[in-house]
Structure 1
Amino acid sequence: MVILTRLNGQTFTLNAVYIEQIQAFPDTTITLSNGKKIVVKETEQELTDRIEHFYKRIGLAPLVSKQFDQEGED
């Protein structure tokens, strides 16, 4: 879970497992696996750092790293 801030200053907690895509439009926009979009104050880099920390905390970081390594070999 990562704590994020909406543009109105309200904080909320998001389960990072459901994040499909992150883009800067210039506001950081998160697209979830169900298609819902959320705009947050955090930068794309801040968000990816928080997600990486979350994955490490729950033990998914090695699995995600292996997946990215395999995709780069194609």
Structure 2
Amino acid sequence: MIELTRLNGETFTLNAFMIEQIQSLPDTTITLTNGKKIVVQTNESEVIRKITDYYQLIGLFGIEEKQVKE
């Protein structure tokens, strides 16, 4: 789960696994797997960093590296 900020300043938590696409149009627009679009203040690169950090936290990111070393 990642914390983001809507354009009105309200923060919310989003399940990172629901994200299908992120665009800067110029506002950051996140398209979810169900087709819903959410516009946020958080810039695109920061959203990507938050997703990557979350994946690392739960052990999803970096699995390939561990398998190669074994």
How high is the TM-score relative to the length of structure 2? 0.87
Number of the residue aligned with 1:57:
57
Report the 3-state secondary structure (helix = DSSP H, G, I; strand = E; otherwise coil) of the residue aligned with 1:61: coil
The residue type paired with residue 14 of structure 1 is L
**After superposition, what is the alpha-carbon deviation per residue over 1:27-58, rounded to whole angstroms, capped at 9, x for unaligned?**
00000000000000010000000000000001
The 5 Å alignment of 1:32-71 reads 32-62=32-62
Distance 2:9 2:39 in 1: 11
Number of the residue aligned with 1:22:
22
Percent of aligned pairs with the same amino acid: 60
Structure holding more helix per residue: 1
Structure with bigger gyration radius: 2
How high is the TM-score relative to the length of structure 1? 0.83
Q: CA RMSD in A?
A: 1.4
